[in-house]
Amino acid sequence: MCGIVAYLGHREAKPILLEGLKRLEYRGYDSAGIATVNGKLEVCRTVGRVSVLEDTLRKLPGFHGSIGLAHTRWATHGEVSERNAHPHRDDKRGIALIHNGTIENYAALKQYLREKGHVFTSETDTEVLAMLISELYDGDLEAAVQNALREVRGAYAIAVLCEKEQGVLVVARKGSPLIVGVGDREFVVASDASAIVAHTTQVFELDDYQVAKLSRDAKGETTFRTSTLDNVPVTPKIRQLEFELEQIELGSHETFMMKEICEQPRCLRMTLQGRVSEREGRIVLGGIAEHARELIRARQFVLTGQGTAYHAAMLGEYFLEDLAKVSAKTEYASELRYRNPVVVDNTVVIAVSQSGETADTLAALRELKERGALTLGVVNVVGSSISRETDAGVYLRVGPEIGVASTKAFTGQVMVLAMVSLYIARRRFMSMDTAGEMLGELSRVPELMERILEQSNHIRKVCEKYVDRENWLFLGRGYNYPVALEGALKLKEISYIHAEGMPAAEMKHGPIALINDGMPAVFVANKGPQYDKVMLNIEQVRSRGGRVIAVATEGDQEIKSYADDVFYVPPISDPLSPLLTVVPLQLLACHAAVLRGHDVDKPRNLAKSVTVE
């Protein structure tokens, strides 16, 4: 959840580290810090955004040198303060460390180190790890890191440097992402490729329990060595990054969230490209082709995720049951991992995650894989942990998502899950003509989305009328119940308005007591099998003084008699309607946050990739 960036090479480290931190700030922005070595170790830490650290460094001498590390924090242990910010250090041996993750046995290690004479100045688990490495250091930083990590329980991605070994940077990971960029006589290490792509496109990922020693000799030549915690050499696979720098720049947009909402038509065309043939009623998904027979014979699908990915997984459940006629259920990964789930023969688990690193989802996936389930991943980030640990999977191909509140990744997940369901349905019972019709509609989704995006100014004007209200309801039925959940989540994530999503009929069973004069209720009321039922629910809200905002199908004039304001979406078959109905709700949330003066891309208390429990 925090941002890690480190550098070893032939250039000044400080500007590269600061640039990297700015690109990673969406991963955490409580505090930031930097450490460099040029003869001596220098560390600077500040509370707040990366800009505060940058301003502080302008006033300080030093911080030169071609090796360093930096960090932007999302607090897990200890309050937001300078003493809890990273890097953490041990001055006795000149060691500095940055860390993403949680050390579960830090309390016992802390007591052991106190008995050894170490004095702690922070409340963090990370400082314990820095002190432990220092305690075990005998002139070989790599060995000290390996030895220390063998004593650690928990998750970590770390970068460590030492004043006594100024040409060495040691990095390691277990459960938290870490990527090593290999450039021309330099290395750039980061928790996300967005901090690397400006410098090199050649990278490798560390697997769990692996350590990399990055070295520079007196002539400036660089080498790297990777090993296990037991010092067994391993050979990483270097790959090419699949996105360009321009994809993580704002361009003409004011926020990354708005940019990514507007990118959805183009991104979903990439998701579809080469995978759909509507003429033949055929879907080509190379990532799962080897397991087609197992998927067709599956007795049960279990879909799991957290947050927005969970809502996409719910739609995957609906697709599988409705289109492929196979039993499916959706589980919160954080609950599934600690239950004792029954895994019947021929069970398939689908793990849904934007980053592919979500800690709870990864743990749930491992638990069900251990029990014999076939595992599939639906993720966006190539080379992520879920993509490496599943038996097969499908990438979203929507490009890097920088905004903390997920938008294009959600629609990418929904589209991929629809394709997987149709892939199975076509092989089980669905005719070529029916499949071709569905694929034709799926292919038109990007074009239809573009029509919805043209309503952005109208949605903003509607939002202005309600943005001061602190309680909202989002209501939908059938396929659009998960859309209601997602709309409510988006609004509360970035505008801090209390919003509750639920099935429209459930409103009568308690939440109707909340409705008072002027309370906004957003109904997903597109034409579908339950349209008339939704109209009844709208009447129930109106009769109690609520204000109705409806997402309706183009051409529906009747809805204007029921709703105070209407956002229209083009007609499409009911199963695919969530790909369209969610877009006005994304725009609504983004405009609400801007109107309330909030930082859309960096909402309080949230980080992009949740790699801790």
State the DSSP code for 546. P
User: Residues 232-237: contacts with CB within 8 Å, 24+ apart?
Assistant: 234/207, 234/210, 236/180, 236/204, 236/205, 236/206, 236/212, 237/204
Catalytic-role residue among 110, 408, 602, 608: 608
325 catalytic, yes or no?
no
Q: How many C-beta atoms surround the C-beta of residue 77 within 10 A?
A: 16
Nearest to residue 167, comparing CAs of 237, 205, 218, 234? 218
Q: Are 149 and 174 in contact (CB under 8 A)?
A: yes
Phi, psi of 16 (to 5 degrees): -70, -40
Q: Which of 2, 162, 267, 463 is catalytic?
A: 2
Q: Which residue(s) pair with 474 in the sheet?
A: 501, 522
Task: Kindly report the backbone phi and psi dihedral angles of residue 130, in degrees, each rounded to the nearest multiple of 5, phi listed first.
Answer: -60, -45
Question: Taking a C-beta distance cutoff of 8 angstroms, is the pair 469, 520 a contact?
Answer: yes
Q: Alpha-carbon distance 182 to 196, whole Å?
A: 9
Amino acid at 526: N
Nearest-angstrom CA–CA distance, 162 and 144: 11
Distance separating alpha carbons of residues 573 and 455, to the nearest angstrom: 21
Listed in sequence order, the residues at least 6 apart from 401 whose beta carbon sits closer than 8 Å to its beta carbon are 260, 354, 380, 407, 408, 409, 608
Q: Is 406 helix (H, G, I), strand (E, B) or coil?
A: coil
Q: What's the per-residue H, E or C state across 584-598?
A: HHHHHHHHHHHHCCC
As beta bridge partners, residue 37 has 41
**Is residue 452 within 8 Å of residue 569, measured between CB atoms?**
yes
**Residue 356 structure tokens:** 């592919």
Which two three-digit tokens encode residue 481? Answer: 């119940």
- Residue 343 burial by CB count (10 A; 0-12/13-18/19+): exposed, middle or buried? middle
Going from the C-alpha of 547 to that of each of 467, 511, 521, 590, 593, the distances in angstroms are 13, 15, 6, 20, 20
With contact defined as beta carbons under 8 Å apart, do 101 and 175 qualify?
A: yes
User: d(Cα 457, Cα 442) in Å, to the nearest integer?
Assistant: 26
Examine the residue annotation and report whether 408 is marked as an active-site residue of this protein: no
* Nearest-angstrom CA–CA distance, 320 and 298: 11
Positions marked active-site: 2, 608
